[in-house]
A and B are shown apart, each in its own frame.
Chain A
Amino acid sequence: MLGGDKGRVKRVSDPAFFMSPAESDQFLPLFLAAQNDLRAFIGAMVRDRAVRDDVFQEVSMILWQSFARFDRSRPFGAWARGIAARKIMEDRRLRSRLPDYCTLETLEALSESFPAHEDQGSWQEREQALSYCLELLPEKSTRVLSARYGRGEAADQIAAAMGLTLDAVYQTLTRLRRQLRECVQRRLGQPVHD
């Protein structure tokens, strides 16, 4: 409330909390550290890139607006993914694209499979390792990856542009993902799982 409720902020026109400068100071580092996994979590369910970006954006705003309710004793990323899971399940359009087995409980369990503590440095290490591994690929492979992940082209577009069959594109993508992932794991000194 006014004056005496230290550190709490609220809008006159809206009962929702609005972030104070102090809270925004706390929010940003947490969000930055968690955003990559949050995006990956959303991407696990939402395959359409444009829709995924929209969901990520909406979830980010919800996190921003709801930060006053965040329990600071909990990992921010888990909280963020929990909100994302609810957002997805509450969206009829998104929900309709998912199988019945994809429930809120499943998504929460999946969320727990992500690292408990966010670490920006770890992401950067992986990024560097991936950059190294990408340099080892033939140019044609890089072109496929650029088209698929850089420009978000559909597989049939890639097939047409590169003179490949659709099946060949999918096989190439599957192979490249596996190769790169193993390369990154080796580069980071992690065990490689088949």
Chain B
Amino acid sequence: MNTDQAIDPQDFSRLLQRWQDGLCTVDEADRFWQSVANNAAYRREFAAASRFEGLLESAMKERAREKEVAGFWVGVVEQMAQRPKQPVWQKPTVKRALGIAAVLAAGGLFWWVANFETGSHSAQSAVAVKTPRELPARAPAPSNPRQRSQVLPRPTPPTLATTEWDAAALNEWLSGYYLSGCEVQDLPLRDALTNLHVQMMQLNFFGTDIQSRLRLVVTPEAGKRRVTLKTGPISFLKAIETLAALAGCQVELGDRLLTVKAIAQPYPQKPLPHAWSDVLAGKVDAEGNPEAGQPEKIALVQADAIEQGIVPPEPSADGRAWLTAAQVEALRRLAEARAQLAMQPQLKFQVRLAPKDSAEQERILTVEEVQQLQAQPAPPGTQTVVTVQPGAPIRPADPLDNSPQWQLVALPIGEGIEIGLQPLIPATSPDRLIQMPGNGQVSPPQLALNTASFHDSTLVTGVIGAGQGVRLATSSLATSSTGSSGTAVGTVSIASGLTSSSSLSALLDYAAANNLQVNILPITNP
């Protein structure tokens, strides 16, 4: 490199300041970068100055955010202005949380990252949540598809460049993304939300650019409250609302901004006696009937409270529920989540094992290919039809066998539906025969396929459009069918309508060993 224009440290420092302020002339910028290129000490100085500037920006954004959040509360602003100013360094938790949130929010990255008091440990705990393997039974969906569509329209993400995301639009959009589950065990709210975001990012990997624009901010007071929650499939927004409610917080939506704030009231709250029906007060079902008067709905609320550890399984002596306001609110959210899920239409798919084409790879099938495949009679014993309600596992036809080895789960993810094949039993469990339900009738408008095997951490996923299907090639499986993947294979038999598989991998292994491939097709026939 050219070293003709070597500069002394003072000159470098001056140029560095000018570079940072955007004041460098072309000549100065050349000299500055030439020095950076040629001098390791200057590079260290430049790196240190850049790191400090990042720190400074973070701190000042944090302060700006703190003011912004504080300004939200009616009547609180004046009170804050009048109170004695406390040294900021006495509130490291608050400051760090706000700082990181502000930095990330300013970056536009849809990523809430909170205050990591214990460094990486906190981060690890935040993502230590597992996707639940067992899904709770859900109330049946309304039989009238028109009614369903009215209740839960498919969200269509508008173009961000031209559309302002008001609260209603954001609510609708976020309600259209489902997580396969939410399992949080005694985590600060900020960490719990971080975990939700990780799941959300995976779901929305295919999706629109809102992922890169939406901001999620948690106020410091809210972020440090600890929460515990375990649910099955739940919309992203409802999961956040439930967690927030448990922490005595509320969720606010604005243009590309989701803010979780502590409600201005004492916390932790004191449990007060409630009737279980209080949780459903004011809620009506799809038919317009008050839910508080429906014993089955009340029983589900009670079951939620027990499952969440809010109340013990044994009923209280007075028959009432001792709940905090936060718990009541959280149970309301869970009831809403259940109702949301029940509104989702049933979906039907056909899983076919077909003779393998040469050099076939796993891929998306075109609409035409799906139509051709559906027109062809499947070879005897090589197909099964699965019907799935979103969030509900496949139930075997044999009532004696209530433990299917794998399940097909459908979850809305924005514009499409994610279809997941999930094993239900440990890899070491013996194989069992299951029979899938009969023919289906509904064709989902759009599908995404996500076949997951938890035991060998294999996930194949992709998006398919209306009428499309997916072909899973199996050529690579034959060599891995003896346990290298950690999956029990055993004897897999495919008979008419009967599938035996200890996991999806076993099914695929079987297909590979028999020179078959797996097609998953949407069912369109009436």
Contact = CB atoms under 8 A, between A and B. Distances in A.
Interface of A: 1-14, 18-22, 24-25, 28-29, 32-33, 35-37, 39-41, 43-44, 47, 49, 53-54, 56-58, 60-61, 64, 98-103, 105-106, 109-110, 112-114, 119-121, 123-124, 126-132, 134-135, 145-146, 148-151, 155, 170, 173-174, 177, 180-181, 184
B63 A150 contact: yes
A2 B43 contact: no
Given A4-B480, A109-B43, 4 more contacts: A20-B457, A43-B54, A120-B119, A127-B96
B320 interface: no
Contacts of A7: 456-458
B442 interface: no
Contacts of B87: 132, 135
B445 to A, nearest CB: 17
A129 to B, nearest CB: 8
A31 to B, nearest CB: 9
Given A12-B449, A25-B128, A146-B63, A33 B120 contact: yes
A58 B126 CA distance: 23
Interface string B18-55: 01111100100110111011001001101111111111
A39 to B, nearest CB: 5
* Size range of the chain B interface in the assembly: 35 or more
A149 B362 contact: no
B60 A127 contact: no
A146 B20 CA distance: 16
A157 B106 CA distance: 20
Most chain B beta carbons < 10 A, residue from A64, A124, A155: A124
9 contacts: A2-B472, A20-B459, A36-B54, A40-B47, A101-B30, A109-B37, A113-B44, A131-B88, A149-B61
Interface string B424-464: 00000000000000000000000001000100111111111
A174 B49 CA distance: 11
B36 A101 contact: yes
B371 interface: no
B56 A110 contact: no
B63 A9 contact: no
A16 B176 CA distance: 25
Nearest to A14: B462
B89 A135 contact: yes
B194 interface: yes
Interface centre among B1, B58, B479 (most CB of A within 10 A): B58
Given A43-B53, A53-B106, A113-B47, A6 B461 contact: no
The residue in A57, A119, A151 that gathers the most chain B C-beta atoms within 10 A of its C-beta is: A57
Contact of B22 (A1, A9, A47): A47
A7 B459 CA distance: 9
A157 B40 CA distance: 36
A68 to B, nearest CB: 12
A102 B33 contact: yes
Nearest to A129: B89
Contacts of B32: 99
B202 to A, nearest CB: 7
Given A32-B116, A123-B55, A4 B477 contact: yes
Contacts of A123: 55
Given A53-B106, A120-B116, A5 B458 contact: yes
B458 A6 contact: yes
